[in-house]
Amino acid sequence: MMKYRIGVDVGGTNTDGVLIDPTRAAEQSRGVLAFHKVPTTVNVSEGIEAAIRQVLHSSASDPSEVACVSIGTTAFINAVLEADPRRLCKVAVIRICGPYTRQAPPFLDFPRRLKRLMDGHIGYIDGGIEIDGRPIVPISEEQIQGQCEIIKSKGLSNIVLSGVFSPLDNGGTNEYAVRDTIVRILGPAVNVVCSRDVGQLGLIERENASILNASILTYAQRTIRGFSRAMLALNIAAPVYITQNDGSLTTAAKAAKLPIRTFASGPTNSMRGASFLAGLDHQRGVGQPAIVIDVGGTTTDIGVLLPTGYPRQAASYIEIAGVRTNFAMADVQSIALGGGSKIRQADSGAIVVGPDSVGHQIQSEGMVFGGNILTTTDIIVAAGKARVGDPSTVSHLDRTLVEKSIATINKHLERIIDRMKVSPEDINVLLVGGGGIIAPDKLSGVSQIIRPPFFDVANAVGAAMAKVSYEIDTIVEIKQKPLPEIMDKLKSLAIESAIAAGAEPSSTRIVEVNNLPVNYVTNQSTRVIIKAAGDLSPSPTHILDAVESERRYGDEVLDNGTEPINEHLEAPEAPVDVNTYRPTIRADKVWVLSEIDLEWIGEGCNILGAGGGGPSYPAFLMVRQLLREGKSILVVDAENVPEDALFARCCFMGSPSVSSERIQGGVEIPAAMQALKQFMGFDDFFGTISDEIGGGNGIQPLIMSGMLGKVTIDADLMGRAYPHMWQSLPGVFGIENGLFPVALADGVGNALVMGRARDGSAVETVLRGACTEMGSKAAVTFPPLTRLTCQKYGVAHTVSQAWRMGRAVALRRQQSNIRDVVAGLLELQNGACLFTGKIVDVRREVRKGFTWGEVVIAPLSNDELEYTGAISTHQITYGADARLIVPFQNENIYAYVETSGSEAKEIVAVVPDLITVLDSQKGVALGTPDYRYGLRVTVIALAGDEKWSKTEAGLNGGGPKAFGLDDILYKSVGEYKEPRGVIEEYA
């Protein structure tokens, strides 16, 4: 009778195996019949075979009694991390995008070594869909035929198809249709990876993951066949499953197609195994999350186990070998604390734990093992909390030293636990890992610490008891049907799909539901993510021979079509010394931007965005690509150009959800500009200027000027970011050509010009409606302004200000002095550090196309302050019961302090001053979508330009009244200081 489950987890050092009888899961042993560790082998199949053979022998079990084998492996991710040309293949990438995305080509943000190994071909064809499901342009079979001829001529067999909004294509009309055509033309021997099968919404990240997947595909197929051969050698006829990053199982056949979904299953297996061993799987209805701490010899990994039994997923993107991806992966944080961490006492008497460790040499270097290095294990033994090695070797240690060391260890653990919690309430902690003896029985913020049995093979247990899941990630319109009806239909579909994937029907249920309204659209769209999961069916289909590729791979080395890489030539460039770096200023006083300049400007644009404006990173990649293609990005000072020189205004409007998929192709802004030229009758312009320097739109003029060989003026028309289009200085002052005529274009032949409007809000209303019809994203061009008008109704030297702010952050990073970022920013602009603390609550809702909400920040305790980053002497000090609250409407609008027991609100900052929330650990500016519980943050306010703060029009259009805050009187945080131009300083 097939009743046992075998779980194997292949790590970098050890391969763990375990044999479990699921029918005895309720017993104290949790059904674990045998477990074994073996060193991980070069050929991972050999280590897997050895571990399984031993657990079968130890339990006296027959191979015929094994119902399934579940394997978690790091083999695939290691090939990418090591950039191993023997295991990676070149890939052809075909974008299904119509005229879009060309300004952000595939491999754009890949490290150069990986790009060289993987980039085989890049092509673009018509197709793709809009956010509402409409086709962008029809697919062209002639274009597909042309791409196939190129791919065949290059000898490539691994292909990625990346279509705009392909995750929403439930009818298979885009990527799947193109895939079928390619297979018909090139034959079934090619491997075609459709990006919708790999990742979620976010074209660049999903495509990146698909490229990694396609490059590793041939090696993965060969490796998984090795697993099959190992099972045959063991006489195991049961199916083989591979554990995925989200804690679920996939068949070996599917893993051979999508190995990237198995890249990082180790931490997830540990968390799922800890939950099973602690008996939490049987405590249904408790509805409480738990934290899993895995303590090793050098590091401690920590993750959150949700009430569903699945780990909390990582944020919107994760990096694999320096490549941004967005496939599902557990949110795991690591700290340099383990059983081998070294203990030192500073001259001040403070105890320093780590970050260095004796690691696997603890049995020769640790004091309790006869060595002379004091480690955390020695401290725990000296305190009498564990018996390891020879306790007499540490009996002489000073009691104060021991107590202080334990207190420091506990602080490290408490701090990382608090960072991972999602609410202030105490939480259960599951402790696993060989270094777990250093953890105490009680910690602040923890209700109980559970040390489950067999904790040192929790990862293999998690693999053995993993479930089967299915996830739906789509965007729906709720105008026609009520949302509950749509959700019920999608939940049923998710459950049916999970059962079809191998889940046992009676145990399958919904384990995750997310409803994320899409802002800046008028068609009531919402993004829905639903996951269903269930136990593995007891009679799964046999799949050992189901790998679709008919090719047979031995152990030969792959030929990826490239010469062996010279490590010296591929070495990374030396980092720029921020202190000595000088920007390039030509003799004619034109600033020639470098990649470093662009990087700093992008960082500064985020700070000036005051929480809004959208991220600058995608736009930064595009303008950097122009540089790499040989274009020049030039900036000029207003004083160095004729006063009647015209400067064009260009930006994008629409939903950030669309911007992450329908990436600009370089045709949208020129199309809008051409429509405006024809309407207004002007022929050309001298350069470009940004309407808002804050966020991604602050980079757009640099992109346009680089494409057209123009210059960008060192100024903008806002000095920050605001939520409304009319909230530029030309708009609020009502000057001629301030807001209209205005042109809107989508790049596929649709363009309109709004010649007149009764006021600024009418411009916004009309354009947002048209923008929705254009796919909820469009390019906007306002009338060009003369240099003289730009000076009169603009904010001078904001490109320089963004550069200086980015430089200030880069300098503190280089100095490992993030705590001084605030001081550096306040040297550049007058203002104040309002508050340092951690986010304890975030509330959001989408109304009228905008994200409204507020973030609540509590002060840190003295212990927490010791380890917090961006602390400044400029900080205003409040008591422990104070809370800083920052309401926002896309951008941060004002900030006030409340104190427990008092109804009074102390307004500490309000628009038009800029309120920016910084990540205290990284020094980077956070957008309002990035706010989440537990983040350590520092809130600063910077003085707004006097055209906003000292004029009636400015205050009415950008001050408290513009947001309905009639009861708040504007009071500046400081006198505005005009930034010094980079050209003036370095010419």
Same domain, yes or no: 473 and 441: no
Under the banding of pLDDT at 50, 70 and 90, the label for residue 569 is very low
User: What residue type is 750 in one-letter code?
Assistant: N
Under the banding of pLDDT at 50, 70 and 90, the label for residue 559 is very low
pLDDT at 284: 47
Under the banding of pLDDT at 50, 70 and 90, the label for residue 875 is low
pLDDT for residue 562 is more than 90: no
* Contact call for residues 958 and 911 (beta carbons, < 8 A): yes
pLDDT at 849: 58
Q: Indicate whether 61 belongs to any domain.
A: no
Same domain, yes or no: 437 and 488: no
> What phi, psi does 107 have (nearest 5°)?
70, 10
Handedness of CA 798, 800, 801, 803 (dihedral sign): positive
Q: Indicate whether 488 belongs to any domain.
A: yes
Q: Is residue 807 helix, strand or coil?
A: helix
The string over 138-151, giving b where at least 16 C-beta atoms fall within 10 Å of a residue's C-beta and e elsewhere, is ebeeebbeebbeeb
pLDDT at 516: 66
CA atoms within 13 A on the CB side of 546: 14
Same domain, yes or no: 345 and 491: no
User: Using one digit for the tens of pLDDT, what is the confidence trace for 457-494?
Assistant: 888 999 998 888 888 877 777 777 788 888 899 999 99
Q: Indicate whether 733 belongs to any domain.
A: yes
CATH of the domain at 761: 3.40.1610.10
pLDDT for residue 670 is more than 90: yes
Under the banding of pLDDT at 50, 70 and 90, the label for residue 546 is very low
Which range is least confidently modeled, 655-669, 716-730, 751-765, 947-961? 655-669
pLDDT (mean) for 330-350: 83
Q: Indicate whether 365 belongs to any domain.
A: yes
SS (H, E, C) 413-449: HHHHHHHHCCCCCCEEEEEECCCHHHCCCCCCCEEEE
C-beta neighbour count of 356 within 10 angstroms:
12
pLDDT at 404: 92
Integer Cα distance of 768 and 786 in angstroms: 27
Same domain, yes or no: 342 and 489: no
Which range is least confidently modeled, 578-582, 720-724, 773-777, 827-831? 773-777
Integer Cα distance of 406 and 378 in angstroms: 11
pLDDT at 751: 95
* Contact call for residues 543 and 251 (beta carbons, < 8 A): yes
pLDDT at 552: 37
pLDDT at 61: 92
pLDDT (mean) for 589-595: 97
Integer Cα distance of 425 and 368 in angstroms: 38
Q: Which tokens is 526 given?
A: 């919402």
pLDDT at 943: 98
C-beta neighbour count of 472 within 10 angstroms:
16
pLDDT (mean) for 642-661: 89
User: Using one digit for the tens of pLDDT, what is the confidence trace for 378-421?
Assistant: 999 999 998 889 999 999 999 999 999 999 999 989 888 887 87
Integer Cα distance of 210 and 196 in angstroms: 9
Highest mean pLDDT among 79-83, 383-387, 552-556: 383-387
Q: What is the DSSP string of 660-702?
A: TTS---SSHHHHHHHHHHHHHT----SEEEES--SSGGGTHHH
> What phi, psi does 668 have (nearest 5°)?
-70, -55
pLDDT for residue 660 is more than 90: no
Rg of the chain in Å (alpha carbons):
30
pLDDT for residue 101 is more than 90: yes
> Is 1 or 859 the better-scoring residue by pLDDT?
859
> What phi, psi does 584 have (nearest 5°)?
-90, 115
Return mean pLDDT, the chain.
87
Highest mean pLDDT among 277-291, 306-320, 647-661, 674-688: 674-688
**Helix or strand run (H / E) with residue 841:** strand 831-847
pLDDT for residue 264 is more than 70: yes
Q: Which tokens is 426 given?
A: 């105490």
Q: pTM for this one?
A: 0.79
pLDDT at 357: 84
User: Using one digit for the tens of pLDDT, what is the confidence trace for 281-331?
Assistant: 655 444 578 899 988 777 788 888 877 677 777 655 677 888 888 776 777
Q: Which tokens is 442 given?
A: 């009680």
Integer Cα distance of 487 and 508 in angstroms: 17
pLDDT at 548: 36
* Contact call for residues 321 and 81 (beta carbons, < 8 A): yes
pLDDT for residue 41 is more than 50: yes
Integer Cα distance of 390 and 338 in angstroms: 20
pLDDT (mean) for 823-833: 95
Integer Cα distance of 281 and 306 in angstroms: 11
* Domain C-terminal end among 425, 451, 477: 451
C-beta neighbour count of 827 within 10 angstroms:
12
**Helix or strand run (H / E) with residue 486:** helix 483-500
pLDDT for residue 925 is more than 70: yes
- Determine the structural domain holding residue 442 and report its residue range: 335-451
Same domain, yes or no: 753 and 789: yes
Closest Cα partner for 613 from 437, 798, 769?
A: 798
Same domain, yes or no: 682 and 590: yes
CATH of the domain at 128: 3.40.50
Q: How far is residue 520 from each of residues 426, 605, 656, 664, measured CA to CA in Å?
A: 38, 21, 8, 17
Under the banding of pLDDT at 50, 70 and 90, the label for residue 567 is very low
Q: Which tokens is 706 given?
A: 């680089």
Under the banding of pLDDT at 50, 70 and 90, the label for residue 188 is very high
* Domain C-terminal end among 223, 258, 275: 223
Under the banding of pLDDT at 50, 70 and 90, the label for residue 850 is low
Same domain, yes or no: 98 and 183: yes
Under the banding of pLDDT at 50, 70 and 90, the label for residue 564 is very low
Residues with Cβ within 8 Å of residue 954, at least 6 apart in sequence: 729, 732, 733, 912, 947, 948
Under the banding of pLDDT at 50, 70 and 90, the label for residue 73 is confident
Same domain, yes or no: 360 and 487: no
Same domain, yes or no: 487 and 430: no
pLDDT at 38: 86
pLDDT (mean) for 152-172: 92
End-to-end CA distance of the chain: 83
C-beta neighbour count of 188 within 10 angstroms:
11
* Contact call for residues 936 and 869 (beta carbons, < 8 A): yes
Same domain, yes or no: 340 and 418: yes
Under the banding of pLDDT at 50, 70 and 90, the label for residue 540 is low
Is the bond leading into 355 cis (omega within 30 degrees of zero)?
Answer: yes
Integer Cα distance of 656 and 664 in angstroms: 12
Same domain, yes or no: 429 and 516: no
Q: Indicate whether 551 belongs to any domain.
A: no
Strand partners, 450: 430
Q: Indicate whether 172 belongs to any domain.
A: yes
pLDDT at 321: 83
Domains identified in the chain, total number: 4
Closest Cα partner for 97 from 700, 619, 748?
A: 748
pLDDT at 276: 87
pLDDT for residue 436 is more than 90: no
Under the banding of pLDDT at 50, 70 and 90, the label for residue 912 is very high
Q: Indicate whether 819 belongs to any domain.
A: no
pLDDT for residue 535 is more than 50: yes
* Domain C-terminal end among 159, 194, 223: 223
Q: Indicate whether 893 belongs to any domain.
A: no
pLDDT for residue 257 is more than 70: yes
Same domain, yes or no: 385 and 440: yes
pLDDT at 513: 82
